[in-house]
Amino acid sequence: MMSEPGAPPAADTTPAEAELRDAILAGDRAAFTELYEQHAEKVWNYAYRLTGSWSQADDLLSVVFLTAWRRRRDLRLVGGSALPWLYVVTGNVCRRERRGMARFLKARLRLLTPAAPDHADRVVERDAAAARLAQVLAAVDRLPRALREAVQLCLLGGASAEDAAQILGITVHSVQSRLSRARARLHQSVPEE
C-alpha cells in the first residue's frame, strides 16, 4: 500500500516480534497465529531438511507450534526474531520423535517372537532328504561290484580304508582308488542340488 506524497509512511501491518512475544506471553492466541503465519514455512522447511519426509515435516510443524504454545513462557528472541527459538524447538521435537520411534521399533522387535518352525516344512525337508538318499542308493546299486563294495564298506558302513582293504583282500591304495572312481560316477549320475 503506497502513501500519498507528503503523507507519513503507511504503518507496518505486522507488529514487531517483540510486541508479538509480549502478547503471546499474555496468552493472546491471535498474536501466536501471527507468529505461526510469519514462520510456519521456514519451520516446515527446516523440519523437512531434518527428516527428508514431507509427511513427517507436516506432522513436526504441528507438534512444534503446539510445543511452542505450551512453552511460550520460554520464548526468546534472537536478533529480534523468534525464528531461532522455533528452530531449537523443531530440533528438539525431531530428536524426541526419533527417540520415540527407536524405542517403539526396539519394543516391537522384542515383542515379535520368532515364528515357530512349520511342521510341514520339516516334513517336506525330510521327504526331500529321503528321496535324495534313495537316488544315491540306487546309483550305488548301479555301480560295478568292485566300486559298490568299497562304497558300501567305507562311505555307507563307516569302515576305514585299511579295514575295507583287509575285508576285500586288496591294498589300501586300491580301496582309495575305487572310492575315488565311485565318487566321480556318483557325481555324474546324481548331480548335487
CATH number at residue 94: 1.10.1740.10
61-82: pLDDT as tens digits:
999 999 999 998 988 888 888 9
Same domain, 51 and 89: yes
pLDDT of residue 176: 95
Q: Which domain holds residue 33?
A: 17-111
Same domain, 26 and 80: yes
CA–CA distance, 23 with 120 (Å, rounded to integer): 71
Q: Count Cβ atoms within 10 A of the Cβ of residue 37 and give its class: 0-12 exposed, 13-18 middle, 19 or more buried.
A: exposed
pLDDT of residue 2: 41
pLDDT of residue 8: 36
Same domain, 95 and 167: no
pLDDT of residue 171: 94
pLDDT of residue 159: 83
User: Does the residue 126 lie in any domain?
Assistant: no
pLDDT of residue 33: 93
pLDDT of residue 5: 44
Name the pTM for this structure: 0.49
pLDDT of residue 12: 37
CA–CA distance, 57 with 101 (Å, rounded to integer): 15
Long-range pairs, 184-188, Cβ under 8 A, ≥24: 185/139, 185/143, 185/147, 186/136, 186/139, 186/140, 186/143, 186/151
Segments of the chain scoring below 50 in pLDDT: 1-14
Number of domain units in the chain: 2
